[in-house]
């Protein structure tokens, strides 16, 4: 396997048992929030039982310099922490609801074979987790690839505009040959926000409310940060449609090889420079860093989405930045 870049961070799921504590933060995968991307660690995990704790918190985040937003945050962060496991693992997650409203967690893409009561749908598989209560989810990581999790109570608000989502990556026991060449991985969770509903829970997310901010990993330009790469990197970007909009993600100067859809490998991968990502969809794209230097914008090509409260520029705008590229005085991401 290629020598992938090691990524470490402090924001991750916390193990609740000392048997697992040594296998915790760094290799579970984590949200490297300093650069605005969720970056995956290098280690290949052996099948095992993975037991974790997760809380749901009420907090306020900065989506953009002019937008503070009340959210329900998994482990106090948006997106929620990355759950990174291997095909065949048994996953146990203890969830405590520290908010004033009821919630559940749906594990989007998990097959739930013989574990249907863990699917996280209120009134169908369980009662909602009431404020102050806890619930333990147990499931097997059968479905490989890029999955995600989100609340399933009042979805239009909690998921649509309150940040209740996070990524899951299930490594295949037998990855494709092209996956073995990957040297760096990044996750882009795409979402929408309503400034008129930012300050109060229980409002917004109706057909009459206006989505006027758009984000990647919970940040709108200029609060986003670049994806820093070097010549020769093979970068896998995992796109996740976490909001209610269709995003058209476009990479300047590079073609993207689409290898997976909704976590599953495609029989015939194909090249694009723009990929449409709808609500709930996931696409894996592999990008070869074949320039000697430079900065190449990576953005949503839906015109409205690159605005903030109607003003350009904003939204899911970032840059692929090569090591060694000169830093101009006017450059935003110095």
What pLDDT is stored for residue 36 in this prediction?
52
Asked if the domains 14-174 and 180-322 are classified in one and the same CATH topology, the answer is yes
Kindly report the pTM of this predicted structure.
Answer: 0.89
In the chain the first and final C-alpha atoms are separated, in Å, by 33
What pLDDT is stored for residue 334 in this prediction?
78
**Residues 212-251: b if buried by 16+ CB within 10 A, e if exposed:** bbbbbbbbbbebbbbbbbeeebbbbbbbbbbbbbebebbb
Position 29 pLDDT exceeds 90 = no
Category of 175 on φ-ψ map: left (φ > 0), alpha (ψ -120 to 50) or beta: beta
What pLDDT is stored for residue 31 in this prediction?
32
Position 232 pLDDT exceeds 60 = yes
Return the CATH fold of 14-174: Immunoglobulin-like (2.60.40)
**φ, ψ of residue 109 in degrees (nearest 5):** 105, -20
What pLDDT is stored for residue 11 in this prediction?
33
Give the CATH number of domain 180-322: 2.60.40.420
pLDDT more than 70, % of the chain: 86
Looking only at the bridges linking them, the beta strands covering 282-288 and 37-39 are unpaired
pLDDT more than 90, % of the chain: 84
CA distance 216 to 187: 9
Q: For the chain, which residues make up each domain, given as ranges?
A: 14-174, 180-322
């Amino acid at each position: 396997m290629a020598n992938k870049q090691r990524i470490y961070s402090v924001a991750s799921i916390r193990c609740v048992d000392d048997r697992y504590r040594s296998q915790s933060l760094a290799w579970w995968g984590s949200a490297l929030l300093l650069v605005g991307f969720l970056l995956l660690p290098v280690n290949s995990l052996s099948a095992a039982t993975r037991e974790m704790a997760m809380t749901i918190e009420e907090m306020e985040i900065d989506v953009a310099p002019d937008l503070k937003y009340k959210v329900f945050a998994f482990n106090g962060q948006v997106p929620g922490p990355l759950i990174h496991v291997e095909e065949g693992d048994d996953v146990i997650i203890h969830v405590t609801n520290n908010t004033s409203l009821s919630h559940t967690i749906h594990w989007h893409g998990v097959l739930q074979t013989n574990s249907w009561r863990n699917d996280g749908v209120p009134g169908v598989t369980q009662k909602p987790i009431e404020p102050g209560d806890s619930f333990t989810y147990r499931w097997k990581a059968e479905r490989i690839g890029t999955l995600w999790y989100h609340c399933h109570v009042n979805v239009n608000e909690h998921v649509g505009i309150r940040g209740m989502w996070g990524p899951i990556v299930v490594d295949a026991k037998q990855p494709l040959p092209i996956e073995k060449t990957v040297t760096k991985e990044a996750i882009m969770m795409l979402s929408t926000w309503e400034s008129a509903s930012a300050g109060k829970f229980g409002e917004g997310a109706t057909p009459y409310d206006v989505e006027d901010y758009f984000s990647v990993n919970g940040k709108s330009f200029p609060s986003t940060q670049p994806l820093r790469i070097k010549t020769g990197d093979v970068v896998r970007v995992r796109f996740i449609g976490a909001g209610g909009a269709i995003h058209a993600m476009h990479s300047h100067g590079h073609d993207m090889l689409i290898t997976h859809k909704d976590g599953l490998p495609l029989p015939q991968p194909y090249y694009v420079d723009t990929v449409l990502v709808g609500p709930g969809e996931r696409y894996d794209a592999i990008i070869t860093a074949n320039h000697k230097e430079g900065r190449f914008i990576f953005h949503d090509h839906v015109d409205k989405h690159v605005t903030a409260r109607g003003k350009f520029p904003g939204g899911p705008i970032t840059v692929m930045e090569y090591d060694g590229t000169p830093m101009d005085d006017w450059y935003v991401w110095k």
